[in-house]
Amino acid sequence: MDDKSYKEYLEHISTFIFDVDGVLTDGTITVTTSGEMLRRMNIKDGYAIKTAVDKGFNMCIISGGTNEGVRVRLTGLGVKDIYLGAHNKIEQLKDYLNANTINLENVLYMGDDIPDAPVMKLVGLPTCPQDAVPEIKALSKYISHKNGGKGAVRDVIEQVLKVQGKWNGSYDAKYD
């Protein structure tokens, strides 16, 4: 880990990559009597994702989970690159970066648990929610003050967009 403040990386971020469970969700799963597994996502995280996509940032999801409802939700926000069932996240990371000609130093990745560690060791700005496991916190250049599924994604996206002058800082009448 270098001595740079995480803020020094924000102006160079062009790409956001997020895990799902524990990052976009609070990490809990409700299992119905039919066996369906339900997750909750934060609407403010969704707004930030949509805003970043609309502003031209690369957005990718790499998750070990396989819930197609997650894909439907994220596709609806404009996310095109969604890797579900990813058990070796390095493979999906390399595929995504090569297909889109993205440099690792321009990537912000947010993860919360051990399967995220290999990717976090490679990217320019590894981040995590406040409630990530200790091993992931140790790898992170920034630990959000928000928990997973409770605004951690919004926190990091908003910081990057604000530094780059691309955040929707005021009410926009076109949403009336």
Domain assignment of residue 175, yes or no: no
Residue 136 domain boundaries: 13-165
Q: How confident is the model at residue 169 (pLDDT cuts 50, 70, 90)?
A: low
Q: What CATH number did the domain enclosing 151 receive?
A: 3.40.50.1000
Q: Report how far residue 116's alpha carbon sits from residue 122's, in angstroms, rounded to the nearest whole number.
A: 11
Domain assignment of residue 143, yes or no: yes
Average pLDDT, the chain: 93
Domain assignment of residue 7, yes or no: no
Encode pLDDT of 58-76 as tens digits.
999 999 999 899 999 999 9
Domain assignment of residue 8, yes or no: no
Encode pLDDT of 3-26 as tens digits.
578 899 999 999 999 999 999 999
Global pTM reads 0.92
Q: Report how far residue 95's alpha carbon sits from residue 19's, in angstroms, rounded to the nearest whole number.
A: 16
**Stretch (H or E) spanning 92:** helix 89-100
Encode pLDDT of 28-68 as tens digits.
999 999 988 889 999 999 999 999 999 999 999 999 999 89
CB 93 within 8 A of CB 62: yes
Number of domains in the chain: 1
Domain assignment of residue 3, yes or no: no
Q: How confident is the model at residue 2 (pLDDT cuts 50, 70, 90)?
A: low
pLDDT of residue 3: 54
pLDDT of residue 174: 45
Q: How confident is the model at residue 176 (pLDDT cuts 50, 70, 90)?
A: very low
Domain assignment of residue 6, yes or no: no
- Average pLDDT rounded to a whole number, residues 96-113: 97
Q: Report how far residue 1's alpha carbon sits from residue 127's, in angstroms, rounded to the nearest whole number.
A: 13
